[in-house]
Amino acid sequence: MIWPPRAIVRRDLGLWALESALQRRGLAPVAGVDEAGRGACAGPMVVAACVLPTGPRGRVPGLDDSKLLTPLARERAYKEVRRRALAYSIIVIPAAHIDARGLHVCNVEGMRRAVVALDLTPAYVLTDGFPVPGLPMPSLAVWKGDHTAACIAAASVLAKVTRDRMMTELHEHYPAYDFDVHKGYVTERHALALDTHGACPEHRRSYVNVARVSQNVTMDVTA
């Protein structure tokens, strides 16, 4: 049996190494998929898919794992990704849906939906962290993909900026929880607000720390 030559991943290309290797094998365009809010106990989970162009236009300045960027740098990268991307999609999964279906099921489902929602059909898909069965094209789960592959990093930025903006808006409705500060993640400040006010409609009641407090808000948290 004659095997095709192995694709060489050029480490000197940094974030673009894996995509470049796939593109050289004719597997373009390449889509990256990532989520934001998986570990939060309040607010939605947001999943994004992104296809960057080949060549210099796809080299988004300042692109990196969204968690490693400052809020200002993320906003700049967000604008550049949207301006340069061949296609992108953003899927929002509400807290209630996560409670009803389960976190991992929603995460995988959201990644599939994000790929299908793209305006073009990718030849290959790179997903962050774990495999996504059921995609109509070949795919690869990349460990710590948001700082390994540019298209995943771009999706990470789209998802996180979108979610952070949503959590800031939720703060206007539920100021007692300081969603604009911790974005729904578990912090000492958030835990104190939960103990004091109970859970609001945006909390994920399937999470242990939320389930242990009162299921109903005990005071006017909009004040």
pLDDT for 217? 47
Measured in degrees and rounded to the nearest 5, phi and psi for residue 64 equal -165, 175
Mean pLDDT of 90-119: 97
The pair of structure tokens assigned to 11 is 């480490």
Query: What confidence tens digit (pLDDT) does each residue in 127-139 have?
Result: 999 999 999 999 9
Contact 17, 58 (CB under 8 A): no
Measured in degrees and rounded to the nearest 5, phi and psi for residue 16 equal -95, 5
Mean pLDDT of 155-173: 97
Contact 55, 146 (CB under 8 A): no
Report angle CA 105, 109, 113 to the nearest 5 degrees. 170
Query: What confidence tens digit (pLDDT) does each residue in 15-33 have?
Result: 888 998 998 889 999 999 9
Mean pLDDT of 111-124: 97
pTM of the model: 0.89
pLDDT for 150? 94
Mean pLDDT of 69-92: 96
